[in-house]
């Protein structure tokens, strides 16, 4: 007997639908057979305005809400705008949860951040370690804001019966990423620097920090697939890690990106710039156990596809 599609006929509202991850999520929901993907733009829905969120949710009557929208950026942006990152992410999360409650949404999926983990979490990070310390200082306001949404989801689940999932993806990357050097994350920043240096014939590229910290990276399409699976299955918002389980140092990552871009020069590490959290790598066994999901794309394949997209699409603003 063919198993019924749990998403068939549903109306799914995606906040942040026009962002980097949102493009993949909307495509995969459409492919999964939902009745409608609702994708309001920032101009159409101000998520920091609780009344506007409540009104929109009641009017559109989504069955499922996926909350992707966030104020995000790399270490530099977090250092320059800590209050903005904390304020905007906290307000958006609270508005979405209350709007979902009022509109009687069936399920809410919230995408959190690996930055919510404590600075010195044992590697690989396990979900139960989320509360065992304070996040790394340079992105703590953002991480704490996302923690607050996790607490809110648990509270709304226990008091109001709001079902859903709280997902903690590793650092995301892929085609369509943000390549602005002032606000981008590490992979798009390295790709752009290597590509521009290669094209200009420059012998060196400067990178931030010492190169010693490690990270784990998740391809955007893989993350989108996990979100769709969660939206079809999960009702308990207990945090779930999403990742590949592969830890890579910044120096090794730079080498992989040099190979992917064809940059043959040297890297100069500026140790006066912050490293951020010393290590990041996730235990993803719970996601496999709870919803049968695991990542498919290797880092090498994902970098190759991201570089190809950059070469075809990226045009720097004059």
User: Residue 248 pairs with which residues in a beta bridge?
Assistant: 215
The b-or-e profile of 9-36 (16+ CB within 10 A means b, else e) is ebbbbbbbbebbbbbbbbebbeebebee
Assigned token pair, 153: 């989801």
Angle at 163 between CA 222 and CA 93, to 5 degrees: 70
Angle at 45 between CA 149 and CA 315, to 5 degrees: 95
* Residue 134 known to be catalytic: no
Among the listed residues 117, 134, 142, 219, the single catalytic one is 142
Angstrom distance (rounded) from CA 261 to CA 145: 36
* Residue 158 CB neighbours (<10 A): 10
Whose tokens are 């794309």? That residue is 297
Q: Is 268 helix (H, G, I), strand (E, B) or coil?
A: strand
Beta strands of 43-106 (E only): which ranges?
64-67
| Cβ contacts of 201 within 8 Å, gap of 6 or more | none
Q: Whose CA is closest to 275, among 212, 218, 215, 216?
A: 212
The b-or-e profile of 293-305 (16+ CB within 10 A means b, else e) is bbbebebeebbeb
Whose tokens are 């992989």? That residue is 256
Angstrom distance (rounded) from CA 118 to CA 125: 9
Angstrom distance (rounded) from CA 203 to CA 274: 24
* Residue 159 CB neighbours (<10 A): 9
Catalytic residues: 142
């Amino acid at each position: 007997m063919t198993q019924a599609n749990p998403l068939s006929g549903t109306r799914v509202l995606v906040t942040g639908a026009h962002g980097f991850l949102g493009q993949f999520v909307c495509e995969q929901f459409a492919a999964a057979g939902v009745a409608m993907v609702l994708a309001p733009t920032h101009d159409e829905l101000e998520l920091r305005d609780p009344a506007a969120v409540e009104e929109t949710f009641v009017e559109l009557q989504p069955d499922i809400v996926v909350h992707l929208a966030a104020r995000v950026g790399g270490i530099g942006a977090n250092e320059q705008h800590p209050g903005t990152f904390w304020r905007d992410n906290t307000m958006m999360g609270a508005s979405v949860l209350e709007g979902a409650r009022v509109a009687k949404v069936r399920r809410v999926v919230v995408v959190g951040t690996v930055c919510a983990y404590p600075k010195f979490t044992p590697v690989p990070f396990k979900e139960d370690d989320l509360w065992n310390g304070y996040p790394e200082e340079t992105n703590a306001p953002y991480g704490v804001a996302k923690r607050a949404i996790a607490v809110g989801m648990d509270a709304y689940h226990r008091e109001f019966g709001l079902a859903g999932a709280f997902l903690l993806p590793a650092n995301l990357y892929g085609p369509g990423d943000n390549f602005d050097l002032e606000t981008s994350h590490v992979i798009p920043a390295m790709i752009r620097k290597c590509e521009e240096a290669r094209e200009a014939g420059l012998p060196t590229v400067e990178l931030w920090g010492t190169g010693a910290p490690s990270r784990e990276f998740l391809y955007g399409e893989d993350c989108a697939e996990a979100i769709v699976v969660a939206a079809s299955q999960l009702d308990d918002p207990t945090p779930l890690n999403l990742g590949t389980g592969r830890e890579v140092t910044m120096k090794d990552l730079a080498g992989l990106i040099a190979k992917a871009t064809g940059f043959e020069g040297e890297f100069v590490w500026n140790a006066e710039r912050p490293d951020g959290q010393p290590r990041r790598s996730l235990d993803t066994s719970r996601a496999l156990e709870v919803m049968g999901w695991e990542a498919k794309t290797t880092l090498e394949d994902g970098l190759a596809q991201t570089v190809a997209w950059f070469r075809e699409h990226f045009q720097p603003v004059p």
